[in-house]
Amino acid sequence: MVTAGREAGPRYSFPTGVRAAHPGFDGPTGQRSRVTNPSSIAVAAERSARASGWALGAAVLLLALGSFWIGPYPVAAADVLTVLLGELGLTLAPDLPEAVRQVVLELRGPRIAAALLVGAALAAAGATYQSLFRNPLVSPGVLGVSAGAGFGAALGILVDGSALAIQALAFGGGLLATAATLGLGQAVGRASLLILVVAGLVVSAFFQALIALLKVVADPENQLPGITFWLLGGLHRIDAPTLAWALLPVLLSGALLYALRWQVHALAAGDDEARAMGVDVPRVRLLLILAATAMTAASVSIAGIVGWVGLLVPHLVRMWVGPHFVLVLPLSALLGGGFLLAVDDLARGVGGQEIPLGILTALIGAPLFALVLARARSAWF
């Protein structure tokens, strides 16, 4: 069973990265002394994140351009840039076949953008939850959002079947599951991260049972296959309106997480240390949960249940830049987007039938996570 670090085991030592970022604290007891020149520390961290981000961003951009070549109608990177610049009015009308424009703007373009968006959202949410709960084994679905979104989508397929109904009910189901988790935690009467994790397991199990019930009553010829394949995850349903549906909540939630990145960095040291640094722990924790949940629900509502991205990618980033959340958050988003785009390229480029994303992310993510586990051992943060 997944447990939250502080309540379930020995107290985490004060992270080296937090000591470096907040030199006014003398050791793991969190006793406060005079903080010296924190602005210079922030500038150094931002410069490091920017340098790593530019390199990773360039690699993801090249991957995105190369992804247009994969498929039954390959489109060269030069043609992609010509079409995009022409749409922005930066070049003359491109002298290209209309089929190229349709592939870039209406078919492959929205799908590539959705892979980047969903991967970035899941990875950023996973990094946030792992730092917030101080537990390396939690994922974006820890509070039941994935199971709730799956139930909402299954209900949408059963009662309506339209894309808008499925997306709206999936998003609402994810938020409802998280609200139930928070409510159950409050009903127990303890402001404990461990209680929230256990409540999330209970809520997830409940919504998984509801999904199974909907499968039983669904039409086995028309509705049941739709529910099954939606739960496996995939981006084959993506078009421009669908992408726009998820774009706003993901961007707003991502901006909130970025604005709170230093507070999350402080929370990694423990609640007492964060309070000593002036962090309003209950308020910041609630905002983080809401933002990460909204990102996850929006992603699941358009892509189905895609596992391992939010669990694996933050660990890969920590192996690269260390435990500093100020760096982990943006780099996890970039690497998560690139990872899911690469997996989606593999899903639609191998064989004649597209492989569901959830299957491929598990086949790739599980062995990679085993390697991370063997290397990290007990030093998760």
* pLDDT 10s digits, 102-152: 999 999 999 999 999 999 999 999 999 998 888 888 888 888 999 999 999
Phi then psi for residue 25, to 5 deg, are -105, 130
Determine the average pLDDT of the residues in 328-356. Answer: 91
Provide the phi-psi class of 245: left if phi over 0, else alpha when psi is between -120 and 50, else beta: alpha
* pLDDT 10s digits, 266-275: 887 788 888 8
Residue 1 pLDDT grade (very low, low, confident, very high; cuts 50, 70, 90): very low
CA atoms within 13 A on the CB side of 140: 37
Give percent of the chain above pLDDT 70: 84
Strand partners, 25: 32
Tokens of 93: 């009308």
Give percent of the chain above pLDDT 90: 52
- pLDDT of 122: 96
- pLDDT of 5: 42
Q: Cα–Cα distance between 127 and 69 in angstroms, integer?
A: 31
Q: Cα–Cα distance between 102 and 316 in angstroms, integer?
A: 36
Average pLDDT of every residue of the chain: 84
- pLDDT of 141: 85
Determine the average pLDDT of the residues in 313-327. Answer: 88
Determine the average pLDDT of the residues in 157-183. Answer: 90
For the chain, what is the radius of gyration of the CA atoms? 22
Residue 369 has pLDDT above 70, yes or no: yes
Tokens of 139: 């994922």
- pLDDT of 127: 94
Are 60 and 341 within 8 A, CB to CB?
Answer: yes
pTM for this entry: 0.84
* More confident: 123 or 321: 123
* More confident: 12 or 83: 83
* More confident: 359 or 381: 359
Amino acid at 317: V
Are 125 and 296 within 8 A, CB to CB?
Answer: yes
Among candidate residues 297, 305, 141, 164, the one with its CA nearest the CA of residue 227 = 305
Determine the average pLDDT of the residues in 255-262. Answer: 94
Q: Cα–Cα distance between 306 and 361 in angstroms, integer?
A: 7
Determine the average pLDDT of the residues in 301-307. Answer: 92
Phi then psi for residue 223, to 5 deg, are -90, -40
* More confident: 213 or 46: 213
Residue 301 has pLDDT above 70, yes or no: yes
